[in-house]
């Protein structure tokens, strides 16, 4: 614990980390709004979203499709904007911290430009959902921002020239941007030729995990661990869902259920749906609902409390991105351990409860965007034991987060303006 705190404190003093933190904090409001609208879209305007099915909105609401389309594109654009801003602010902040210059946006603009070109050109297709998919990987804008920031501050120190929008900057910028366009064009060309799209690695891991016919507990655990690890570093993925869809066990379960309507004897009780979705992802990856609760109970830090109380409603609907930005949890060494351990513990409890036949496995089809705490309950066709097991998983996860959360108060107090000093 002590070690962890020391490491985190050291990290908090480093320029690159401060640049990331203040970028995340600046973007938090936009992320919060984006996520709120995303929840409205998923619950009400996504086919089979939970409120959509309750009120049968697609037949009862005139203009359902148009609103749905509008919301979907707004959401996509918001999330693209967020990652663009992340690229901009990371570079800008780092440059300002290192070169002690402010109000010069060269680094930010260059980083934004590189990132935008890159995601659009390396998306498998030039359409909005595909680009959004690529933009979901938040590690890339941060890395690009950091590189650009370092590059410019290096230039600024070496050339002893004022990097301002002056004659120098104008002439050099023409060269820099031309070179960048060629460079990124080259990268994109290679990506297309080799088919090494940004999601290549995750696809390979998926293929590896998809061997065999039916997922085992350890395979699910491993997939969850990898997925959460990636999530922690900003690689927001739907990897576990994709893997889950691959296995035929869920289809086999549904076929059985359609005929017999008996949850206790389904052929494959252990699936990603019955373990991970029902017990391992309460509040999105890493059981963040537990974290939000723990913060509200324990932490005195005003900012953390504000963020947690704002985003706990979103976390109930599994949208924890605002929390990840605001606390932040992304790249925060304090939370890496519980972020990986809590889902594992909760899933193990679910696993034990299922194999000992205390609760049936959640195999029913549930509405889209069902709040996480209700997923096991609905998936078992209203088994209160399953609801109880999810609550136990949640409480245990809060206990796991608890000691780590209390360290927040011992971190140096900081605010958004600090980096501009």
Partner 1 sequence: MLKWIRPLILFVLLGFMAVFGLQWTHQNMRNAIPSANSRVSPIILVPGSSATQERFDAMVNELNGKTKTSSSLLKVTVHTDNHLSYSGTFQPGKSHPYIVIAFQNNHDGYSNIKKQAKWFSHAMTILSAKYRFNHFSAIGHSNGGLVLTRYLEKYFNQQKMRINTLMTIASPYNFSETNIDKRTQMLTDLIKDNSKIPTNLVMYSVAGTENYNNDGTVPFASVEAGKYIFQKRAKNYTQITVTGEDTTHHDLPQNGEIVSLIQQYVLNISSTKQKPDINVQH
Contact residues toward partner 1 (CB under 8 A) are 50-51, 53-54, 254-255, 257-259, 261, 313, 316, 364-367, 370-371, 373-374, 377-379, 381-382
Min separation Cβ 48 and partner 1, Å? 9
* Cβ neighbours of 79 (radius 10 Å): 23
* Alpha carbon distance 255, 364 (integer Å): 11
Which DSSP letter does residue 270 get?
Answer: -
Min separation Cβ 274 and partner 1, Å? 14
**Between 364 and 402, whose beta carbon lies closer to partner 1?**
364
**Between 83 and 370, whose beta carbon lies closer to partner 1?**
370
Min separation Cβ 325 and partner 1, Å? 21
Our CA angle for 349, 263, 386, nearest 5°, is 35
Min separation Cβ 75 and partner 1, Å? 21
Closest CA to 255 of 243, 242, 268: 268
Q: Are the CB atoms for 327 and 401 separated by under 8 Å?
A: no
3-state secondary structure of 182: helix
Min separation Cβ 169 and partner 1, Å? 50
Residue at token pair 């005929």: 259
Q: How many CA atoms lie within 13 A of 18 on its CB side?
A: 22
**Between 346 and 383, whose beta carbon lies closer to partner 1?**
383
Min separation Cβ 34 and partner 1, Å? 20
- From residue 182, alpha-carbon distances to 121, 177, 195 in Å are 12, 9, 19
10 Å CB burial of residue 302 (0-12, 13-18, 19+) is: exposed
Min separation Cβ 49 and partner 1, Å? 11
**Between 99 and 316, whose beta carbon lies closer to partner 1?**
316
10 Å CB burial of residue 421 (0-12, 13-18, 19+) is: exposed
**Between 177 and 368, whose beta carbon lies closer to partner 1?**
368
**Between 185 and 382, whose beta carbon lies closer to partner 1?**
382
3-state secondary structure of 347: helix
**Between 237 and 370, whose beta carbon lies closer to partner 1?**
370
Q: Are the CB atoms for 368 and 42 separated by under 8 Å?
A: yes
The encoded tokens of residue 403 equal 């000691």
**Between 340 and 378, whose beta carbon lies closer to partner 1?**
378
Give 68-111 as a DSSP string: HHHHHHHHHHHHHHHHHHHHHHHHHHHHHHHH---S--HHHHHH
Min separation Cβ 191 and partner 1, Å? 40
Min separation Cβ 52 and partner 1, Å? 10
**Between 202 and 390, whose beta carbon lies closer to partner 1?**
390
The encoded tokens of residue 194 equal 């080799």
């Amino acid at each position: 614990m002590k070690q962890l705190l020391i490491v985190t404190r050291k990290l908090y003093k480093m320029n690159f980390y401060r640049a990331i933190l203040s970028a995340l904090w600046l973007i938090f409001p936009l992320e919060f709004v984006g996520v709120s609208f995303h929840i409205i879209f998923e619950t009400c305007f996504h086919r089979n979203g939970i409120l959509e099915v309750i009120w049968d909105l697609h037949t009862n609401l005139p203009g359902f499709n148009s609103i749905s389309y509008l919301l979907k594109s707004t959401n996509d654009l918001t999330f693209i904007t967020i990652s663009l801003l992340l690229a901009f602010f990371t570079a800008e902040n780092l440059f300002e911290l290192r070169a002690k210059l402010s109000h010069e946006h060269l680094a930010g603009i260059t980083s934004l430009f590189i990132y935008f070109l890159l995601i659009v050109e390396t998306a498998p297709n030039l359409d909005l959902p595909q680009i959004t998919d690529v933009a979901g990987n938040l590690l890339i804008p941060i890395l690009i921002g950091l590189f650009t920031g370092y590059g410019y501050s290096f230039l600024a120190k070496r050339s002893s020239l004022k990097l301002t929008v002056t004659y120098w900057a104008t002439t050099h910028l023409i060269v820099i941007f031309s070179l960048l366009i060629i460079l990124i064009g080259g990268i994109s060309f290679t990506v297309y030729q080799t088919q090494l799209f940004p999601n290549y690695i995750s696809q390979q891991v998926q293929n590896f995990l998809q061997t065999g016919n039916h997922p085992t507990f350890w395979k699910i655990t491993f997939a969850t661990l990898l997925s959460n690890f990636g999530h922690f570093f900003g690689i927001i993925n739907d990897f576990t869902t994709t893997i889950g869809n691959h296995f035929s066990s869920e289809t086999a379960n549904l076929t059985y259920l359609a005929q017999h309507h008996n949850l206790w004897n389904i052929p494959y009780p252990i699936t990603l749906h019955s373990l991970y979705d029902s017990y391992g992802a309460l509040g999105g990856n890493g059981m963040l609902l537990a974290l939000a609760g723990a913060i509200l109970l324990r932490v005195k830090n005003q900012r953390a409390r504000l963020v947690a109380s704002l985003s706990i409603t979103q976390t109930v609907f599994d949208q924890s991105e605002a929390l990840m930005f605001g606390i932040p949890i992304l790249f925060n060494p304090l939370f890496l351990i519980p972020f990986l351990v809590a889902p594992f513990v909760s899933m193990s409890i679910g696993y034990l409860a299922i194999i000992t036949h205390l609760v049936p496995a959640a195999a029913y089809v549930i509405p889209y965007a069902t709040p996480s705490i209700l997923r096991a309950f609905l998936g078992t066709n209203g088994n209160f034991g399953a609801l109880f097991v999810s609550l136990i998983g949640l409480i245990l996860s809060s206990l796991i987060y608890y000691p780590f959360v209390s360290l927040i108060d011992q971190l140096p107090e900081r605010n958004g303006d600090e980096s501009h000093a």
